[in-house]
Structure formats: C-alpha cells, structure tokens
Structure 1
Amino acid sequence: MTDDTAPHPRRLRVLAAMSGGVDSAVAAARAAEAGHDVTGVHLALSANPQSFRTGARGCCTLEDSRDARRAADVIGIPFYVWDLAERFRADVVEDFVAEYEAGRTPNPCLRCNEKIKFAALLDKALALGFDAVCTGHYATVVRRADGSRELHRASDLAKDQSYVLGVLDERQLAHAMFPLGDSRATKEEVRAEAQRRGLAVARKPDSHDICFIADGDTQGFLAGRLGRAEGDIVDEDGRKLGTHEGAYGFTVGQRKGLRLGRPAPDGKPRYVLDISPVDNRVTVGPADALDVSALTAVRPRWCGTPPAGAGSYTAQLRAHGAETPVTAELVDGELRVDFHRPVRGVAPGQAVVLYDGSRVVGSATIATTRRAERVES
C-alpha cells in the first residue's frame, strides 16, 4: 500500500477548499509545493454571512472569505468563491433542525462533509476537470496495490478527524487529498509552518462550535425554528419532576440545564435518558441507566467494500470519543452493533464509525439502542 498524500507521479489539477482557517491554508500550500496545479475555493454557505459568528469554523463569515483569499494570494494560486448557501441550508441546516425535532442528535459537520464538501463540491470540481479536492482534515487516504483507496486515521491520533469523514465512499476517496493527514506536527508546529509561509491565518483561533448558529445557543436557535412547546420532565416511573420548553432542546446523556430544582432521592445527578417528540416528554434518571449494550444503525456508508458477515471491529461514537471493541454485522441493510462492554450516553442520530485498526470501515446513523442490564445495588 502507498500513502496517497505522498507526491503523485503526475501533476494533478487540485481544488483546495479554503475555509479561512490555518489548516486548510497550509494544506493548500503543501499541495501547491508538491507540484500540483492548485486552485483555491471558498464555500459561501450562508445567504447572509454577516449574521454568522466571526471566527466560526468554516466558510460562514465575510472575515473567513477574506482570510482565505489573502492566503491564496500568498500561496500564489487562483481563488474563487462558490455560492452553495441554498444546498447547505437544505442538506445541513434543515436536516439539523428536523433531526432535533424528531428527538435525535445529529452531527452537522459529518453531514456537511457528506453532502457539501464531498458531494456538491466534488461533483462540481470533477465536472470542471479537476482531479482531486484538497481539504485541511487530519486523515490519510491510502492507495492499495489494486488501485482502490482506504481511509485511515491521521498519523497524529490527537488531531485525527477520520470520524467525520467516515461517510465518504471509495469513489470520493479516490478524489480526496488530505495533505495534513500524514503529519505528526503539533498544531503549534502547523501554525509555525503557516507563519514561515507568510500566511496571516497562522494565529487565527480555532472554533469547534456549529458554524451556522450565530451566538452558540443551540437551544435558542432551535426554539426560533420550532417554537417553544412546554412539556413534562419525568422520572423512569413516569412521575412528573418538572417542565421544559421543548423536548428538542435536549439530548440523551445531558446533565446540565434540566432545572429540576430538587435532587434525586439518592442525591445523585440526573441525566436525560429518553426524548419522546410525540408527547413532548423528557425522561431523566441515574447515570447507570445510560449504559447501552447494543445498537442498530441505518443508512450505512462504506469506505470501500461492505463487510461480509459478523466481524470484530472498534467503534467510535463521537468526534472526539474513544474507541470501544464491538461485533458488527450488516443485516437487511441495517448495521447491528454489539458492544463488548457497555458504553454510556449513546444518542439516536449520532454516527457510529467502525474501524479495523487504523482503517475506517464505514459509518451509519444510530437509530435505536438497547439498554444494558442494570445491577441492583
């Protein structure tokens, strides 16, 4: 196998997605330095970019657009702004709202990679004659001897972003370039590289917030879209403990913001165990009630050939979560996952990403979970 981020035997036409941050700028610079014919593009994802928070990660502010243009000028590559605001609204923002309304917890960054950066953007790039799309993600594409591609974790596991790329199929991987993925440099060293290259974004702060929520208030954003609707907060026996202003404002495993006013009888914290959008009810209970032994996931996407039969893998359930050993099997188009030991706080709507060593096998959206048996104290 060969590392697909290494210099290619031929000069490629590369479209570098430049968010206005340091990672995408350095990635574009490395691709140009490797001898490729690079063009920078900034994705305008808001119909009103001034309404989005300054410094938001990725493509949402006028400041970001200007920073990306300045970086392209320093690198010496052509630069364009492409308007994908309508596609972003439909495929990411509206999906985000609909998922919360249905009592699920979506990952908008994962959806953006699937629908925008490696669907809408890649399709347009290929139609214009580009060979690859380059981004600043920390992940690695490996080209096998037979020409097929695999997605692997970044060399530096502390910066690895393969979880949010687990939705990419083999065709998309064949046209993906991640120049930072094989780098063991720390973030400060990447910033130092940007400084050496004369890129003004070298000291621009990172943001991990949702880019389309202006003030970072997710619950307020959803309330503005869905309206406030008072409902009950109940315990596992159905006893009313308090009220809320919309079940969509909660996620499984949440502890803060319940505003119940009095502790549980045992004095321990309560957590959100279940969200029922049908009757606008939120069920809370003790931490051990969050333990899950298995899940079913839908809409699987495979980074290569789908697995055949049951197999042993590791699974990651959050963008910055730890791996856990599992047995997984594809049954009638659904992914069935059994955890070797219970995991806590798994929310429908999240993605489960399977790994075979460092290789990303694929991703699916969690639909249902099975609670682990609780040991009576």
Structure 2
Amino acid sequence: MRGIPPGGAADAPADLLGPARAGDGEAFRRLIEPYRRELQVHCYRILGSVQDAEDLLQETLLAAWRGIGGYEERASLRTWLYRIATNRCLNASRAGGRRPQEVAAAYRAEVPMPEPSRRREEPSWLEPYPDVLLGELADQVPGPEARYELRESVSLAFLAALQQLPPRQRAVLVLRDVLGFRAAEVAAMLDTTENAVTMALKRARATLASELPGSGRESGPLPDSPQERRIVEEFSRALEAGDVDAIVAMLTDDAWLTMPPMPLEYQGPAAIGQFLATVAVRGCRRYVLVPTRANGQPAFGCYLRDPRTPVLHAHGLLVLTLAGERIRALTRFHDNSYLPMFGLPRSLPGR
C-alpha cells in the first residue's frame, strides 16, 4: 500500500464511502483496510506496547464504524482516522492501562544486579515490534514536514525516548515530526490551538534531544546488509560461547544495556561487561540464539541450555542497535510472551 501524505486530497473512494455510511460492513472494511497497519504502528509509538496498540486499533475502528455516517469529508479519511486513534490513545494513557511498575516489580533477578549507571525514577513501558509487520509500511509517504524517516521512527532508541514524554507531547511530536501533519491539522485533531501545539512540540523536541544520541543517527549498517550480517554473526558466536571479552570489544564507548520496563540501565563497556559476567553468562550458563528482527534492528530469541534436560528454554528477546562496525545498544526483553509474535517457540530441542 502507499499512504497518502497528511494534508492531501480527500482519500475516501465514493463507491465505498456511500455504502459504508449506509451500513455496509464490507464496504467499510475495504475503506479502512489500507490504513489498518499504519494506525496500529501509530498507537504503538504512543503507547509503547504492541498488545495495547492492537487493542486501541480495534477501539479506533469500532468508533470509526459507529461514526462513519457523520464523516463530512472536511479532512481526508486518513486524517479523520488518525484523530480518532490519537484521542483513544490519550484516553488510554490517562486511564493508566498496563502498568510498567507492576511488571518491573514482578521480575525477580536470580542473582544480585550490579549497581547500574543510571536508575530511572519510573519504569518505561516498551515492547518490541516484529519487522514482518513493519514491511507493510514500506511505501508509506510521510508529510512534507516530517523530520524522521520510518526506520528511525520505529527504532527502540527513538521509542524509548518517546516514552519519557508526557502523553500529549508524545502525540504532538509523532503527528508533527514522524507523520508530518501540519500544526493546524494537529490542533484540530486534539481540539486545541496551533500555539499550544507549537509549544508542546518545542518541549518534546528538547526532551528528545537530551535522550537520543547526539550524532550518528544514520550510522548503522543497512538492514540485512553484509556488514550487518557479519556483526550479528560475530555477536551470536561470542554470546553463545559465553565470551564476555569478545562482546565488550564490539561495543561503542557509550553503549547502553537496558531491560524495559526495568529502570536499571548500564552504560559503557566496563559496566555492561560486569553485568554480562555476573548476571547473564555467569558460570556455565550458555545460550542458543535464534535470529529475528525487531523495530528495524537485528534481534534474537534467546534460549538457555539446561544441563539436566535436552530442552532449550526460552529466555526472552535481545535486540541490537548498531553503529558502524560496533554495537551501540543491547535491549533485553525478559518476557517470553513476546516470542510468538516473532514466530518463535517457548522451547527448542537441544543442539
């Protein structure tokens, strides 16, 4: 599919819009189907959760179905749908939704954790998004005022930074800088003024500038390129062998290890190496890694060897952020419930 830039002409085919307004469910389905995936990704950017995004997408489509009779084509159908989705997400954020504090508190480390480089005051909610779903957005065209390309706008670094913003600032930044809607359009979506949108965007950009790396935003190798495959294979061999020194040698000097939603973060080769040696690959713990992709980045389903059985047990998902020939970030997701989204099983036969 090819998305329509914000501010473009009305995009609702008359042969579908009329019947949809009259209650034709099939016409409505065909009318909104081209926008389904991008609306889900929009909800994901704001909420940080794939499951919450799917739930809010269904709420959005239900609200659109109930309201299609009153759609007056003052804005494009796409803009109308984004208005519904954004406000549903903001309502969900105000209501609390899934609580990262509860999830983080439920995690119990098997051994004491080293002192982190940084301990955030609040856990941030962030889940990985399968690349197989992002492929459906490959031809999406953002508006002319967009500041971020698709690849960056779904990266874990960008999404983690977004989660540090208040929900309304988050929504404004996504609508303006990711999707390229004009300030007037965003103001209409949020029932506010253009000046309020401009001020919220200014604050959001300032926060993102402090959270995101200051340079090298495009310095990672292209997805599935020979350079990326070489780095991924080298890392996989090192982790499966429990070779902490080899992993540390692949890190940038400012690399981060994070484990959303846990608030503990480790920066730099020394701190990350200590964590790996004392927690991840301590003693005889050994992993088998199954390659996959998340958020436009190389990732692995992690499986832990059990010396007592021939079965490999799932041990979460690990995502790499690359910078040139090195690794800028390791993002560890402990929740095994994410694995089915990536087509990965809960266990594997021993190798």
Tell me the TM-score normalized by structure 1.
0.28
Higher strand share: 1
Tell me the TM-score normalized by structure 2.
0.29
